[in-house]
Structure 1
Amino acid sequence: MHDVLVIGGGNAALCAALMAREAGASVLLLEASPREWRGGNSQHTRNLRCMHDEPQDVLLEAYREEEFWQDLRKVTAGKTSEELARLVIRASATCRPWMRKHGVRFQPSLAGTLHLSRTNAFFMGGGKALVNAYYRSAESLGVEVRYDSPVEALELQDGRFVAAHAGSKRFEAKACVLAAGGFESNREWLREAWGQNERGEWPADNFLIRGTRFNQGVLLKHMMAQGADIIGDPTQAHCVAIDARAPLYDGGIVTRVDAVSLGVMLNRDAVRFYDEGEDFWPKRYAIWGRLVAMQPGQVGYCIIDSKAVGRFMPPVFPGVKADSLPALARALQLDEHRFVQTLDAYNAACRVGQFDHTVLDDCRTEGLTPPKTHWARPIDQPPFFGYALRPGITFTYLGLKTDAQARVYFGSQPSGNLFVAGEMMAGNVLGQGYTAGVGMSIGTAFGRIAGTEAARAALATETAHAIA
C-alpha cells in the first residue's frame, strides 16, 4: 500500500505527487489517459500568472498582490473566496524556484503576446514541456505512474479515503489527492447543465472542447453522489470563442481567435451583441465563449480589416478573406443587407482618437448600442477578414468545496485524508470569468498544498500505527 494516491495526471496532480514524495511519502499516480496523451489540459497551457513586487528574470515591472486580487475580483464579479484567492496569489510569488528545480524552464513572453509580459511567466516549450519535465522528475524521485487507469469510484469510511477503484483494480493508500479535472468532455452532462433554450436549441451540442477528451467528470459525479460538499455553477466554465473549424477535442491555444477586440463580433443575424473593447484581452477573452453560447446557433463572427493584421497572435486557420464587406457577408453566408447595415452603423459611430492597443485608449463609439468603449476604429480598409467562432470549453467550474488545507468536505466536515486540487476545486476561486494564466496558478498552489497535506496525513497515520 502506498502512502499517497494521486488521481489525475495534469499540473495539479503532478505538483501534488512531487510535494508528497519530497515530504517522504511513497506515491502512486493514476492517469486516465494513455502515456502519449498524459497531462490533461495542462499540456495545452503556456504560462502562469505570478505576483511579484519587483522585476524578476522573465517578468517585467511589478504585479503586486492587491492588483492581482482586484483583477481576479473583477473578472469573477466577486464570485470568489477571497481567502483562497489570496492564498493562490501569494503562492504564485514563490513557486517558480521549485518549478525550476523540477525541470521547468521559463522564457520572456513574445513581443505583443496579449500584453502579459508583466503579469505572466511563460513556459519554455509550453505546457507539454512543463508536463514532461514534471513526469521526468516524478519518476526519478520514485513516484509510480500508471497510465490508462481512469478511477470510477472511491471507497470512503466516515469521510475518510480507504481505496480507489479503476476497472477491476483496487488501490489502497493512507491518503489521497483528487486532481482528475472537470466534466467538460462529458457531452451529456453539458447538455444536462445547459438545458434547452427558448429557441428550442441544446446549446451544448455546438460546444467544442479546447482540452483533453479524458475529463469526463466521472469521479466528480461519484463524489457528489457520496455526499461531498459541492461549489459552483455547472454552466460556468473557462469558455473561449474558438474557430468553428477546430477539432472536437484538444484544439488548444492555436484555435483561439484573438482579434475580437480589434474588430467587431456579429451573431448569425449579422448583429453586434457585446462591447468588444470592454477591457484588455487577457481579462476578457474567456467571456466570449459564453457570450457566443447565448447567441442563435451558438455561433459568432469576428470581423476585422487589414489594419488589424499583425496585431494579434495568428490562429491556426486563416480567416475568410474578401475585398469588400458585401463579398465578406456572402462568403460567411450572412445576410448581406443586415451585415453591411451593421458595419456602416458601427463605422459611422467610431470616434477615433489615439489608437493604442496596449492601453485603454480613447478610440470609442458614440450613440451605438452596444458601445465599443476602446480600440474602436472603422472597418474600412480592405481586404476584410471574418472568422466563424464557436464556444470552446477549457474546463468547468463545478467542483468540490475546499479550504486552505485543500481538504474535501462532507456535510461541512473536512476529511482527514482526502484532498483536492486543480480543476476539481477551481470553482472555489473562479465562480465565473477568467484571467489569463490563473488556472495554472490555482493548480500549482493547491497541488502543492494537497500533496504536502496528504503526505502529512499519511505519515501521521504511519506513526500512530507504529506507536500502537
Structure 2
Amino acid sequence: MIDVLVIGGGNAALCAALMAREAGASVLLLESAPREWRGGNSQHTRNLRCMHDGPQDVLVDAYPEEEYWQDLLKVTGGVTDEHLARLVIRASSKCRPWMQKHGVRFQPPLSGALHVARTNAFFMGGGKALVNAYYRSAEARGVQIRYDTPVDAIELDSGRFVAARSGAQRFEARACVLAAGGFESNRQWLREAWGQNERGEWPADNFLIRGTRFNEGVLLRFMIDAGADAIGDPSQSHCVAIDARAPLYDGGICTRIDCVSLGVVLNRDAKRFYDEGEDFWPKRYAIWGRLVAQQPGQIGYSIIDANAIGRFMPPVFPGEIADTLPELARKLKLPESTFVETISAYNAACRVGTFDHTALDDCRTENLLPPKTHWARPIDTPPFYGYALRPGITFTYLGLRVNDKAQVHFGGRPSENLFVAGEMMAGNVLGKGYTAGVGMSIGTAFGRIAGAEAARVVTQQTGVCRAEA
C-alpha cells in the first residue's frame, strides 16, 4: 500500500507530494490531465505574494505581515479566516528557499509589473517553469506520477480516507491529500452558481475560462455530497476582465487587458459602471471580471487614448483604433451618441493634478457618478483605442473547510488522514476578491502543510520513517 496519495497536479499538489516524500513517505500523485497539460492553473501563474521584513534578492523594501493582512482584508471585505490567512502570510516569508531547493528560480519583475516589485516574487519562466521544476524534483525523489487519471470518487469510513477511484481503478493509501482544483471549467455548475439574472440571461454562458479545462469540480462535488464541510460562495471566484477574443480555455495571463485604470470602461449601452481608478491595478484587476459579468450581455469595453500607450502591459491582440470618438464607437458597435456623451461628460469632470501611475495621485473627477478616484485624465488625444472585455474565470472559491493542519472536516470534526490544499480550500482565506499572487501563497502554504501532516499520520500508523530514495 502507498503511504500518501496526492490527487491533483498543480502547485499545491506538487508541494504536498514533495513535502511528504521529504518526510520519508512513499507518494503517488494522480493528475487528471495528460502530461502535456499537467500543472492545472499553476502553469498560468507568474508570481508569489511574499511577506518580508527587508529587501530579499528580487524583493525590494519590506512587506510586513500587517500590511499584507490589511491588503487581504481590504480585497476580501473581511470575508476571510484571519487565523488561516495569517498562517499563509507567515508561511510566504519562509517558502522561497525550499522552492529554490526544488529548482524554482526567481527574477526581478519586468516593466509593466513594477507595482508589485515590493510585494511579489516572480518566477523565472513563469508558472510553467515552476511546475516543470517541481515535477523534475518529484520524479528524481521517487514520487510516482500517473497522468490521465481523473479521480471521480473517494471511499470513506466515518470521515477517514480508505481509497480513491478513477473509473475501474482503485488506489488505497494510508493518507490522502486532495488538491484537484475548483469547478471553473464545469459550465453547468457555473450556471447553477450564477443563476439567471433579471434580464433573463444566464451570465455563465458568456464566461471564458482563463485556466485549465480539466478543473470540472468532480472531486469537490463528490466530497460535499459525501458530507465534507464546505465553505464559500459558489458564485465567487478569481474573475478577471479579459480580451473578449480569448480562447475558451487556457488563455492565461496574456489575455488580460491591463489598461482599465488608464481610461474608462463602458458597458454595451456605452455607460460607465464603476470607478476605474479606485486602487492600484494589482489590487483591483480581479474585481473587473465580476463587474463585467453583471453588465448586460456580460461584456464591457476599455477605452483609452494615445496618452495611455506605453504605460501598461500591451495585450496580445490589438484593439480597435480610430482617429475620432464617433468612429471608435462605430467600430465597437456601441451607440454613437451615448458613447460620445459619456466620454465628453467624463472629460469635463476630470480635475488633472500631477499624473503618476505609480502612486495614488491627485488626478480625479468631480461631480461624476461613478467617480474616477485616481489617474483621471481626459480621453482627448487621438488615436483612440477600444478593447472588448469578457469575464475570465481563473478559479472558483467554493471549497472544503479546513483547520491549520489542512484537515478536511465532516460535521465539524477533522479527518484523521484526509487533507486538502489549493483551490479546493482557498475559500477559507478568499471569501471574495483577490490580490496578485495570493493564490500561489495559499497553495504553497497549505500544500506544504498537507504533505507534512499526511506523512506524520503515516509515521504514527507505521512507526517507520523511510529515507528518500
TM-score tier, shorter chain, comes to over 0.9
Aligned twin of 1:31: 31
Contact 1:231 1:399 in 2 (8 A): yes
State the match for 2:387 in structure 1: 387
Runs of 4+ residues over 4 Å off in structure 1: none
Alignment partner, residue 433 of structure 1: 433
Partners of 1:188 and 1:111 lie apart in 2 by 39
Alignment of 1:27-426 (within 5 A): 27-113=27-113, 115-426=115-426
Which amino acid in 2 is paired with 1:222?
F
Contact 1:4–1:177 (8 Å) recurs in 2: yes
Q: CA separation in 1, counterparts of 2:460 and 2:316?
A: 51
Please list the CA deviations of residues 218-239 of structure 1 after superposition, one character each: whole Å capped at 9, or x if unmatched: 0000001100000000000000
Counterpart residue type for residue 391 of structure 1:
P
Q: Which amino acid aligns with 2:32?
A: A
CA contact (8 A) 1:352 1:362 kept: yes
Per-residue deviation at 1:114? Answer: 5.0
The Cα of 1:173 is off from its aligned counterpart by 0.1
More displaced stretch, 110-119 vs 92-101: 110-119
The one-letter code sitting in structure 1 at the alignment partner of 2:389 is L
Counterpart-to-counterpart distance in 1, 2:332 and 2:283:
28
**1:236-258 deviation line (CA, Å, top 9, x unaligned):** 00000000000000000000000
Task: Kindly state the Cα deviation for residue 462 of structure 1 after the two structures are TM-superposed.
Answer: 1.4
**Partner SS state of residue 115, structure 1:** helix
- Measured in 2, the distance between the counterparts of 1:249 and 1:22 equals 34
Contact 1:25 1:455 in 2 (8 A): yes
Matches of 1:220 and 1:73 in 2, distance apart?
A: 26
| Distance in 1 (alpha carbons) for counterparts of 2:313 and 2:74 | 25
Query: 1:7 matched to which residue of 2?
Result: 7
Cα distance in structure 1, aligned partners of 2:4 and 2:235 = 32
**Once the 2 structures are TM-superposed, how far is the Cα of residue 167 of structure 1 from its aligned partner?**
1.4
Unaligned runs of 5+ in 2: 465-469
Q: After TM superposition, give the deviation of residue 459 of structure 1 in Å.
A: 1.9
SS of the equivalent of 2:163 reads: strand
Contact 1:242 1:390 in 2 (8 A): yes
- Distance in structure 1 (CA, Å) of the matches to 2:170 and 2:242: 40
Task: Quote the Cα distance in structure 2 between the aligned partners of 1:324 and 1:170.
Answer: 64
Deviations along 1:57-81, one digit per CA (max 9) or x if unpaired, are: 0000000000000000000000000
- In 1: Cα distance, 2:300 partner to 2:63 partner: 34
Kindly provide the CA deviation profile for residues 70-120 of structure 1, in whole angstroms up to 9, marking residues without a partner as x. Answer: 000000000000000000000000000000000000000012315110000
Over residues 254-273 of structure 1, what are the superposed CA-to-partner deviations in whole Å (9 max), with x where a residue is unaligned? 00000000000000000000
Q: Is the 8 A contact 1:242 1:392 kept in 2?
A: yes
Cα separation, 1, equivalents of 2:391 and 2:112: 25
Aligned to 1:430, what secondary structure does the other structure show?
A: coil
Structure 1 residue 461 displacement after superposition: 1.1
Aligned residue pairs: how many?
Answer: 464
Task: Output the CA distance in 2 between the equivalents of 1:312 and 1:462.
Answer: 56
Q: Is the 8 A contact 1:59 1:118 kept in 2?
A: yes
Alpha-carbon RMSD across the aligned residues, in angstroms, is: 0.6
Cross-structure match for 2:449: 449
Q: Deviations over 1:268-324 (max 9, x none)?
A: 000000000000000000000000000000000000001000100111111110010
8 A Cα contact 1:3 1:459, kept in partner:
no
User: 1:114/1:264 Cα in 2 relative to 1: closer, same or farther (>3 Å)?
Assistant: farther
SS of 2:463 mapped into structure 1: helix
Q: Distance in 1 between matches of 2:317 and 2:416?
A: 49
8 Å CA contact retained: 1:114, 1:282: no
CA distance in 2, matches of 1:253, 1:157: 41
C-alpha displacement of 1:460: 1.1
Task: Specify the SS of the correspondent of 2:99.
Answer: helix
Shift of 1:413: 0.2
Structure 1 residues without counterparts, runs of 5 or longer = none
Relative to the length of structure 2, the TM-score reads 0.98
Paired amino acid for 2:85: A
Mapped partners of 2:198, 2:111: distance in 1: 44
Query: Partners in 1 of 2:450 and 2:385 — Cα distance?
Result: 47
Of residues 315-324 and 431-440 in structure 1, the stretch that sits farther from structure 2 once superposed is 315-324
Query: Deviations along 1:394-442, whole A, 9 cap, x unmatched?
Result: 0000000001000000000000000000000000000000000000000
